Amino acid sequence: GGAPPAVSRAAAALHQAGTALTYTPALGIAPLREAIAGHYRRWYDLDLDPARVAITTGSSGAFVLGFLAAFEPGDRVALARPGYPAYRNILISLGCEVVDLPCGPEVRYQPTPALLQAAHDEAPLAGVIVASPANPTGTMVSREDLRAITTWCAAKGVRLVSDEIYHGVTYPVAGQADPRGVCAWELDRQALVISSFSKYWGMTGWRLGWMLLPEDLARPVDALAGNIALCPPAPAQYAAVAAFTDESYAFCEAAVAEFAATRALLLESAPSLGWGVSAPADGAFYYYAELGEHLAPFGSSVHYAAELLEREGVALTPGTDFDPVDGDRTVRLSFAAGQRANETAIERIVAFQAR
């Protein structure tokens, strides 16, 4: 649905006024850092110092700055497999060793203290990345499970990086006590929390994200930010203050309601696809599943996805993007395009598989 109208109006007014857009402070303008701190009070009842909020050039900029500040070359950093590929690629580019945690349906595709301990026993871990809701699976970590992970990390001296980019893009699930997601800072302020304007606010091209910085990372991140990007995009920062108005929250909630309706349609239609084991899709806008009996004619999800795109014009992401070991059996379907597009996509997939 794009940015909330209040954000677009703020951007238009900024440009119409002819305001000189110069560099901002490296970690962002004070009004936006204060507005984000207010957001944490509103959603999580958390009081935090705006000085601990670092505005970044998208969450991608946050991962680069955060990983540079928190880890050294050679450090072992654990992450769930399947998981978002940029974690792996950024860590490897910085000289870190990626430690895959095989997270299947038996652990709801999320890390556990037992999996972390097994990896730590092989050689000490320096960090672990937890994403909730996760890409590609959409699964979320409960408060109890996140507490178990933060407790384990604190005991072992391992840095938790909590990817909370999809917070708010979540759906009512039985027994889910924290419908928007749990912020890691509710449990431990040594965690590095990363979030973004791209998902809940729909502001992908505005290139704004943020971090909540533990005390020991605040100065290193500030120093790195000034050298790597000087500052996040100034027009986007000034306009984004309007993302935290009642009007903008209402606009975003309407967009999430549309996602929820599309998700319900997809889950209702899932049996007609005839795929195998799938993730629960607690949040985000993805459906991640094994292809089951439909894999055999193609041999891998890559070939399946390529043929589906060629013959039916439906784009799925093969699981190999997210899981270098088992991803040749899985695909990710994004339902962000809305109900009509997904109805058409499902019809075309069913017809494609019937051939």
For residues 60-69, give the mean pLDDT.
Answer: 97
Q: Is the pLDDT of residue 99 over 80?
A: yes
Per DSSP, what are the bridge partners of residue 210? 55, 195
54 against 176, higher pLDDT? 54
225-271: per-residue pLDDT in tens? Answer: 999 999 999 999 999 999 999 999 999 999 999 999 999 999 999 99
At residue 175, does pLDDT exceed 60?
no
Name which of 285, 195, 252, 169 is nearest 3 in CA terms. Answer: 252
Q: What is the pTM of this model?
A: 0.94
pLDDT of 174 reads: 53
pLDDT above 70: residue 177 = no
- Calpha distance 268→251 (Å, rounded): 26
Q: What is the pLDDT of residue 19?
A: 80
Q: Does 44 have pLDDT greater than 90?
A: yes
Backbone angles phi, psi at 287, to 5 degrees: -125, 115
Residue 247 has phi, psi (to 5 degrees) of -60, -45
CATH number of 5-244: 3.40.640.10
pLDDT at 179: 82
Pairing of strands 317-318, 330-334: antiparallel
Element (H, E) at 290: strand 286-290
> CA quadruple 191, 113, 98, 103: dihedral positive or negative?
negative
8 Å CB contact between 313 and 307: no
The residue-averaged pLDDT of 204-215 equals 96
The burial class, CB within 10 Å (0-12 / 13-18 / 19+), for 147 is middle
The CA distance from 339 to 261, in Å, is 7
pLDDT band at 132 (very low <50, low <70, confident <90, very high): very high
The domain segmentation of the chain, as residue ranges, is 5-244, 248-354
For the chain, give the percent of residues with pLDDT over 70: 98
pLDDT tens digit string along 263-316?
Answer: 999 999 999 999 999 998 999 999 999 999 999 999 999 999 999 999 999 999
Q: Tell me the CA distances in angstroms from 119 to 87, 124, 216, one per residue in order.
A: 18, 8, 25
pLDDT at 1: 67
Q: Which CATH superfamily is domain 248-354 in?
A: Aspartate Aminotransferase, domain 1 (3.90.1150.10)
Residue 111 near residue 78 (C-beta atoms within 8 A): yes
Does residue 156 register a pLDDT over 80? yes
Give the number of residues written for the chain: 355
- pLDDT above 60 (res 207): yes
- The pLDDT of residue 178 is 72
Scan for tokens 């990390």, then name that residue. 153
